[in-house]
Amino acid sequence: MKKKIEILAPAKNLFQGIAAINAGADAVYIGAPQFGARSNATNPVEDIAELVKYAHLFKAQVFVVINTILYDKELDDCKKLIYELYDIGVDALIVQDMAILEMDLPPIVLHASTQANNRDPKHVKFLADAGIKRVVLARELNLDQIKEIHETTDVELEFFVSGALCVSFSGNCYMSIAGGERSANRGSCAQNCRLPYNLIDGTGKTLIANSHLLSIKDLDLSNQLPNLIEAGITSFKIEGRLKDLVYVKNNVSYLRKKLDAYLENNPNYQKASSGRTFYNFDAEMDRSFNRGYTDYFVNKRTAKIGSWETPKSQGQVIGRLIETTKKGYIIENVDKLNNGDGLYFINENNEADGAQINTIENGVVIPNTFKPIKEGTIIYRNADASFNKLVERDDSAIRKIGVCLTFSETNIGFKLIAVDEDGHQSTAEITTEKEVSKNEESVIANVKKNLSKTGNTPFIVDDITVNFTENWFLPISKINEIRRIALEQLIDVRINEYHREEFKLTKTDHPYPVTQLDFTYNVANKLARAFYKRHGVTTIEKAFELQWDPGKSRVMTTKYCVKYELGKCARFQRNTMGEKVVEPLVLKHGENEYKLKFNCKPCEMEIWEKDADLVFDEDDVF
C-alpha cells in the first residue's frame, strides 16, 4: 500500500483555510475559540464546521489546535469544546497538555504538539503507546535523530518545513511571562526573542549594541523533502497562523509543486488528498514574508542562522545598488521591480532600512522618500506589489477533481453517470421526448463540448463517453441541466462518503521515560498530574506560570548559540575563534537582563534571568 505524504498548511481563518486547500494543501490546522497557542488566531466553531465540509470535499483534513497548557478551572470548558469539534467532523486535535488524555473524550484522533517535548525516541514512543496517533517533532532535530525516532515507533511523524522558527525549544520558552504577564504556553507570546539587545561580556564591556541577537532566520527545508520522507516524515508543516493570505498560498503552492515532482517519480508514495491545482502565478517562497532562510539543524550545525539586523521581512534579493542619481537609484535587475514595491537594505549604520518605490523611469528607481544608500549595497524587495495583487485573486489557484462522464439514452430520456477520480459516482436522468436531429452532422461533438463546461464546480472533466443509437437532438439547456444535477449530487456523495479516522482513547499505565518532572513539562492542572502519576512519575514540579521566581529563573533553552554566531565556539571554531570571550555573557534590553550559559556537550544555550546564580561545569567547557 502506498504511503500518503501530506502538506499541512496554517489557517488563520475560514477564508485562508479554503485558500490553502485550493492552493494544494492536503490538510490545514486552525485555532478554535479557546486554548490555541495563537490567541490572535481564534475562530468560531461554525467557521471551522464550514472549513471541514470544504476540506472533506477534496479528502483534505482539518486539525484544530488545542495546544495551550490548561488550568483546573478550564478543564470542563476544554472537554466541552472537544465534543463540539468532534461533532462537526474535525479530523484531529493538536494537543500539548496531557490532561486531555485523562478526559472522557469522543473517539477523536490526537496529535502531540511540538510543545510536548518531542525530541527523543523514548518520549515519542511513550506518546504513541498512550494513544497519540501523530507526533509533531521538535524543530531542532536532525535527519539522523528523526530516523532513529522513526525506527523506534511507527507513529505518524510531522515536521515543520517552512516559516518562522521559535529560537527556544517549543513549549519551554518563558521569557514572555518572565518579562510581564504574557505566557507563550497560554497563547500570548510577546516575542521577546525579536527585540534588540546589547551583548555585554563578563567585564562589563559591550561587545554588540542594539542588535536582534535572539532573532533567527526563517526555515526552508523545501530541498530536503526527499531526505525527510526517507527519514520517516509523512506530514510537512508550514508555520504561520498569523501570516497573510499571500504567504499561505505562496508557500503551499511552492511546496506542492516540489512534492508532486517527487511523488511522480516515487511509486511507493502518494498525495494525501484529491484533485489537482491550476496556478496563475509562479510560486517563489522569498517573494512573501521571510527573514532570509536557514535549514536550521536538519543537517546538524553547519552555518550561522541569526537574523540580527531586523526581525522584519527581508524578502527577495534583487541585486546590488550600482549608482545613486539625483532622482533615485540604479539597481541591478531593475526589470524585476514594479511601482509600489517595498525595498529593504542595510544602511551605513548597519541597520535595517527600507524605502517604497514611487515610479521607475528609464531604469532609475525613484522612491517616495529618498534615502542615501552606499554603492554596492544588496537590495531586497520585501513587498512585491504586483505579485501580491496577483496571488490575492481568487483565481490564482484553482483546485479541481477529475471526473469521467458517460452520457447515454434511456427509454424515457437520457442518463448521465459521473465517476470521479476516487471512484465516487452519481447518476442523473432527465425525462424528455427523443427527437432525431434534422442535421446530418453528428451531435456527439456538441454534446461533449457542453458536458465539459464545469464552470465554478470543483470538477474538471477528464473523459466523456457518449452512447447513442441515433443522432439525437438535444437542447443545450437539457445538457446543462443533467450535468448540473449529476455534479451537484457528486459533491454531496463525496462529502457524505468521506471517511474520518476515529480512535477511542483507553488509559494506559506504561512507564514514563523519566520519574521526575521539572517546570519545563508545563504541568498546570490536576488531570495532567494524575496522568503522569499513573505512568510512574513520582515528582512533579508546577508549571512556570504557577511558581515563577522573579529574577532567578531559566527562561529559555535553545540549540541556537550566540557564541557560535560570534565565531567564538570552542567546539566548532577553535582554529579561527581568536581570544575567548569573558563570561558570563549578558543580554540587555532596557531594564531586562539575561545571563547566557553554554552547555557544550549537548550543544545548547540556556538563558537565565539576571539574579540567577549560574554554575559552570568544567566538563562542559571545550
DSSP string, 326-381: SS-EEETTGGG--TT-EEEEE-TTS-EEEEEEEEEETTEEEESS-----TT-EEEE
Cite the beta strand spans of 13-106 per DSSP E: 27-31, 61-66, 92-95
Going by the DSSP 8-state scheme, the letter that residue 169 receives in this structure is P
C-alpha 252/C-alpha 550 separation (Å) is: 42
Asked, for residue 424, whether it belongs to a domain, the answer is: yes
The answer as to whether 175 is a domain residue is no
Same domain, 483 and 373: no
pLDDT band at 617 (very low <50, low <70, confident <90, very high): low
Burial 337-350 (b: 16+ CB within 10 A, else e): beebbbbbbbeeee
Same domain for 222 and 355?
no
pLDDT at 496: 95
Which of 602-606's residues contact partners 24+ apart within 8 Å by CB, and which partners? 603/301, 603/559, 603/561, 603/571, 604/557, 604/558, 604/559, 604/561, 605/557, 605/558, 605/559, 605/560, 605/561, 605/562, 605/563, 606/554, 606/556, 606/557, 606/558
Instruction: State the CATH number of the domain containing residue 145.
Output: 3.20.20.60
3-state secondary structure 481-508: HHHHHHHHHHHHHHHHCCCCCCCCCCCC
Same domain? 269 vs 407: no
In a domain, 389, yes or no: no
> What domain range is 435 assigned to?
401-496
Query: Average pLDDT, stretch 166-189?
Result: 90
Residue written as cell 498569523?
A: 242
Report the DSSP beta bridge partners of residue 606. 557, 597
Using an 8 Å Cβ cutoff, are 296 and 140 in contact?
Answer: yes
Give the mean model confidence (pLDDT) for residues 608-617. Answer: 79
Same domain, 10 and 107: yes
In the prediction, which pLDDT does 470 show?
93
Shared-domain flag, residues 438 and 530: no
| Percent of the chain whose pLDDT exceeds 90 | 91
Nearest-angstrom CA–CA distance, 512 and 532 = 7
Q: Assess contact for 604 and 610: CB atoms under 8 A.
A: no
53-81 per-residue burial string, b: 16 or more CB within 10 A, e: under 16: ebbbbbbbbbbbbbbbbbbeebbeebbeb
Contact between 100 and 201 (Cβ < 8 Å):
no
* Residue 155 and residue 74 in one domain: yes
Same domain, 365 and 487: no
Coil, strand, or helix at residue 526? helix
Q: Does residue 158 register a pLDDT over 90?
A: yes
DSSP 56-79: HHTT-EEEEEE-S---GGGHHHHH
pLDDT at 622: 41
Q: Are 283 and 412 in a shared domain?
A: no
Residue positions counted in the chain: 622
228-266 per-position pLDDT tens digit? 999 999 999 999 999 999 999 999 999 999 999 999 999
The mean pLDDT of 344-353, rounded to a whole number, is 92
Give residue-wise pLDDT tens across range 385-431.
999 999 999 999 999 999 999 999 999 999 999 999 999 999 999 99
Judgement on whether residues 276 and 326 belong to the same structural domain of the protein? no
pLDDT at 345: 96
Q: 223 pLDDT exceeds 90?
A: yes
- Given a cut of 60, whether residue 593 has pLDDT beyond it is yes
Do 138 and 257 have their domain in common?
yes
Note whether 212 and 194 are within 8 A (CB): yes
265 with 138, same domain? Answer: yes
pLDDT band at 491 (very low <50, low <70, confident <90, very high): very high
Confidence tier at 349 by pLDDT (50, 70, 90): confident
Q: What pLDDT is recorded for position 616? A: 59
Q: Crossing angle, helix 45-57 and helix 14-22, to 10 degrees?
A: 10
Residue 65 lies in a domain: yes
Q: Residue 167 corresponds to which amino acid? A: V
Count of beta carbons in the 10 Å neighbourhood of residue 151: 11
E strands in 394-511: 397-409, 413-420, 425-431, 435-436, 459-467, 472-473
- Is residue 147 domain-shared with residue 282, that is, in the same domain? yes
Domain contains 224: yes
Residue 394 lies in a domain: no
Query: Tens of pLDDT along 509-551?
Result: 999 999 999 999 999 999 999 999 999 999 999 999 998 877 7
Residue 569 domain flag: yes
Residue 179 confidence class, pLDDT cut points 50, 70, 90: confident
pTM as predicted: 0.95
User: Is residue 95, in this structure, part of any structural domain at all?
Assistant: yes
Please report the beta strands in 481-584, taking only residues with DSSP state E, as ranges in sequence order: 516-517, 539-540, 554-558
Residue 337: pLDDT over 60? yes
* β-sheet bridge partners, residue 413: 431
The C-alpha atoms of residue 447 and residue 248 are separated, in whole angstroms, by 40
Average pLDDT, the chain: 95
Structural domain total, the chain: 4
What is the domain-level CATH number for residue 357?
2.40.30
